[in-house]
């Protein structure tokens, strides 16, 4: 998986730069998301990995799934992927594309795990505080984990802020036993 992620980065960057320069970020995002879902299907992935099926047929099959206006640019991109044997990396390319899109749009997805369900007002206050701290637009997804006892855990990309009671108790326990 780490290898496919590494392989996907330059393709995602090239696709994103092309989409950005041609003001087609939304359509490329939708197409890559759709194609990655298709390639993630085990039967379809087996078909794409078959040496009996020529690359141009693989690209044609994928291109036929796309709306007419997206065919030319994406078909050339898919041709490049097929020539390099990277069609199976499409899910990772789509993931990296979305990461680059979020960076470009200066927004971040934040997952908030709390001991209890957060109401709309609490989510708004949290989003506003995070917006000031991270200097980005915030999109919040909430989860409930009763084992936290109280407080919240925030995950924004690689950043994790553990403000849970469980986390504080664990840190206190480590400090006392050290």
Name the residue ranges covered by the structural domains of the chain: 2-103, 107-177
pLDDT at 21 over 70: yes
pLDDT at 67 over 70: no
The β-bridge partners of 107 are: 137
Question: Whole-angstrom Cα distance, residue 95 to residue 93?
Answer: 5
Computed on alpha carbons and rounded to an integer, the radius of gyration of the chain in Å comes to 21
The residue-averaged pLDDT of 60-68 equals 77
The residue-averaged pLDDT of 147-170 equals 87
Question: Whole-angstrom Cα distance, residue 114 to residue 143?
Answer: 6
* Dihedral sign, Cα of residue 87, residue 89, residue 94, residue 98: negative
Range 83-88, long-range pairs (CB < 8 A, 24+ positions): 83/55, 86/7, 86/8, 86/11, 87/39, 87/48, 87/58, 87/62, 88/4, 88/39, 88/45, 88/48, 88/49
| CATH class name, domain 2-103 | mainly alpha
Q: DSSP class of residue 154?
A: E
Q: Which letter, b or e, does each residue of 83-93 get, where b requires 16 or more Cβ atoms within 10 Å of its Cβ? A: eeebbbbbbbb
pLDDT at 158 over 80: no
The residue-averaged pLDDT of 7-20 equals 92
Angle ∠(171,173,178) on CA atoms, nearest 5 = 95
């Amino acid at each position: 998986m780490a290898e496919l992620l590494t392989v996907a980065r330059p393709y995602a960057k090239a696709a994103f730069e092309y989409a950005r320069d041609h003001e087609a970020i939304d359509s490329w995002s939708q197409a890559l998301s759709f194609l990655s879902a298709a390639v993630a299907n085990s039967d379809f992935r087996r078909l794409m990995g078959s040496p009996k099926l020529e690359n141009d047929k693989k690209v044609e099959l994928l291109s036929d799934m796309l709306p007419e206006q997206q065919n030319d640019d994406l078909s050339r991109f898919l041709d490049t992927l097929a020539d390099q044997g990277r069609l199976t990396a499409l899910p990772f390319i789509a993931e990296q594309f979305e990461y680059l899109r979020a960076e470009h749009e200066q927004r971040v997805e934040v997952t908030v795990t709390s001991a209890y369900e957060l109401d709309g007002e609490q989510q708004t206050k949290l989003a506003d505080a995070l917006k000031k701290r991270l200097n980005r637009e915030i999109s919040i997804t909430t989860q409930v984990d009763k084992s936290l006892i109280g407080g919240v855990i925030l995950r924004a990309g690689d950043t994790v802020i553990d403000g849970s009671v469980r986390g504080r108790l664990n840190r206190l326990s480590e400090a006392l036993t050290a």
